[in-house]
Amino acid sequence: AQKVTQAQTEISVVEKEDVTLDCVYETRDTTYYLFWYKQPPSGELVFLIRRNSFDEQNEISGRYSWNFQKSTSSFNFTITASQVVDSAVYFCALSEAQGQNFVFGPGTRLSVLP
Amino acid sequence: DAGVTQSPTHLIKTRGQQVTLRCSPKSGHDTVSWYQQALGQGPQFIFQYYEEEERQRGNFPDRFSGHQFPNYSSELNVNALLLGDSALYLCASSLILEGARTEAFFGQGTRLTVV
């Protein structure tokens, strides 16, 4: 069975600090996709990043970066120079195929204080 | 280009009643998935519709049923409502393109309160 764990329930940082959100996943599939979504108070899940199991190359996209390590089944997400608008709940998710059903973690609530 | 739209945005129902939630997928998308998100938790997969048929289903009772119309829009029906059905219901749409599914886009959800 697939499972996603986000050990951090809530994180508070001061604006301009860097923050890393942790995600650990479990799956027996050899092909899978990992995602990070942001959920602001409006409720809509906003897609942030995606990684497939074939590619462990870590990348930076603007203020976002991620660290995918298959050896430890982790997919951590970092926001550099955090801003107040980054305050939201962040979900890590796993799917066996792109666009197929997601297994979500419990979420991490990030508060960025001015 | 309209994204995924859901209606209504908020709904209050009484235990035992039935409810229907609606979802219009992103333009061009042919697949709709429904998720239930209880307060303080991550979304849980209910089911997925493609070509007007239920293709995948999560661990939800038969009280939860759905439908997809020829225009790809979808409905989620919940019968015999329980207090525990109170949640945010999210719809996601995607498209099969060249044999693979595209990214899924989510709507803003319907907040259902059962009293």
User: Does the distance separating the beta carbons of B44 and A104 come in below 8 Å?
Assistant: yes
Per-residue model confidence (pLDDT) at position B31: 92
A51 pLDDT above the threshold of 90? no
Give A-chain residues touching B88 at CB under 8 angstroms: 43
- The ranges assigned to domains in chain A are 3-113
Contact by Cβ (8 Å): A22, A110 = no
User: Does the distance separating the beta carbons of B108 and A43 come in below 8 Å?
Assistant: yes
User: Does the distance separating the beta carbons of B42 and A43 come in below 8 Å?
Assistant: no
**Number of domains chain B is built from:** 1
Q: What is the CATH number of the domain that holds B73?
A: 2.60.40.10
A99 pLDDT above the threshold of 60? no
pLDDT per residue as tens digits for the range B16-41: 999 999 999 999 899 999 999 999 99
**Spatial distance between the Cα atoms of A47 and A33, rounded to a whole number of angstroms:** 13
**Spatial distance between the Cα atoms of A68 and A70, rounded to a whole number of angstroms:** 6
What average pLDDT does the structure give for chain B? 93
Range of the domain at B56: 5-114
Q: How far is CA A80 from the centre of its chain?
A: 14
B48 pLDDT above the threshold of 80? yes
Contacts by A65-69, CB closer than 8 A, 24 or more apart: A66/A36, A68/A34
Question: Could you tell me the two tokens for B88?
Answer: 């945010």
Please state which architecture CATH assigns to domain A3-113. Sandwich (2.60)
Residues 29-88 of A with CB under 8 A from B: 37, 42-47, 50
User: Does the distance separating the beta carbons of A107 and B41 come in below 8 Å?
Assistant: yes
Per-residue model confidence (pLDDT) at position B1: 62
- A99/B contact by beta carbon, under 8 A: yes
